[in-house]
Amino acid sequence: MSVVFSIDAPYRGRYELHRLTYGSGGPSVAIVAGLHGNELNGIHAVNLLNKMLRVQRPKGTVHLFPLVNTFGADQATKRWPYDDQDINHSFPGDPDGPVAQRIAHALFEASDADLCIDVHSGAPHVRELPQVRAPMGGEELELARAMKLPVVWRRPGIRLEPTGLIGAWRAAGRKALHVVGGRGITLDNRHATTMANGLANLLGHLGISANLDSPMTVIGDVTHSDVETHRASCGGFFVAEVRVGDRVEPGHLLGYIQSPVGGERLDEVRSSVTGVVMTIRAYPMIHAQELLVRVAGTK
Ligand SMILES: [Zn+2]
């Protein structure tokens, strides 16, 4: 493990950006987690992958950055805690800028690779089935599918923020993929393990590591129009009747909204498609129009 960047912190010891490197030469992959300090599933997934790599002799180079926003993780916050900046909105960064910009710059420089993967959890109030978000076509989509995560979500590149890590990597001509699973603040070992296996599948596909013979398969391979998004028709208390990964048919009850005082049922949420539940609201207090459930259509 090497420290690729550090800065003085007010009182708790220095901030350090850690990188673990396996192998040398090409092809090269950089895998980053914990840009958002409270997204623990990504951190755990990269550490699980680290355990797998320890017993391998990679044919190529793998750089792991398991936890970028260490102080955010300490405090269970997504952003850099001192000035509330989102490191993932700070790329490509500035070596002379505010701290989040300096960390972003150091990470961007140290993650130079042919292929870069940014691993996140969902927000604290939503749970995501492990998924990879990829462009609409091309080699990155092929690589995304090789991970065999439950959902491949093809999204137009135009949606990417240029100040985000993925956008900055792509602007620099590197291939980049975005992996998301579980929810913020909590650790779901099952989802983290799925994400780690997906990363290992990708390294196997690239010939960097031995092929992990994982039984995983892509359940939903979707574009935005294949994803059925349910938003709250009214404010209230949302009770989910399904879990992420559940397969549903048209008419399947996904959950209901009830009054937080007295429990009167206000609305029901039902699938209108055949598919797999990919996102569920986890924090039940909801305002009108907030996201409740996403179903990835499989037909
Ligand atoms: Zn995140």
* pLDDT digit string, tens, across residues 70-128: 999 999 999 999 999 999 999 999 999 999 999 999 999 999 999 999 999 999 999 99
What average pLDDT does the segment 223-242 reach?
A: 97
Residue range 258-271: average pLDDT?
Answer: 98
pTM of the model: 0.95
CATH architecture of 2-218: 3-Layer(aba) Sandwich (3.40)
- pLDDT per residue over 157-200, tens digit each? 655 778 999 999 999 999 999 999 999 999 999 999 999 999 99
Q: Which residue has the tokens 């029901």?
A: 268
Residue 165 CA, ligand 1 centroid: distance in Å: 11
What separation in Å is there between the alpha carbon of 186 and the centre of ligand 1?
A: 13
| Residues around the ion ligand 1 (C-beta < 5 A) | 36, 39, 120
Report how far ligand 1's centroid is from the alpha carbon of 124 (Å): 10
Instruction: Region of 194 please: left (phi>0), alpha (psi -120 to 50) or beta.
Output: alpha
Q: Distance between CA 56 and CA 59 in Å, rounded?
A: 9
Q: What is the pLDDT of residue 162?
A: 81
CATH 2.40.50.100 in the chain, residues?
Answer: 224-297
Kindly tell me the sign of the dihedral angle through the C-alpha atoms of 66, 124, 36, 147.
positive
Distance 120 CA to ligand 1 centre (A): 4
The continuous run of DSSP H or E covering 292 comes out as strand 291-297
Name the band, by pLDDT with cuts 50, 70 and 90, for residue 213: low
Ligand 1 centre from 55 Cα, in Å?
29
Per-residue confidence (pLDDT) for residue 195, from 0 to 100: 98
pLDDT, one tens digit per residue, over 12-49 is: 689 999 999 999 998 999 999 999 999 999 999 999 99
Instruction: Name the segment(s) of the chain with CATH classification 3.40.630.10.
Output: 2-218
CA distance 48 to 193: 7
User: Is pLDDT of 214 > 90?
Assistant: no
- Structure confidence at residue 156 (pLDDT): 83
CATH architecture of the domain formed by 224-297 = Beta Barrel (2.40)
Q: pLDDT for 147-159, tens place per residue? A: 999 999 998 865 5
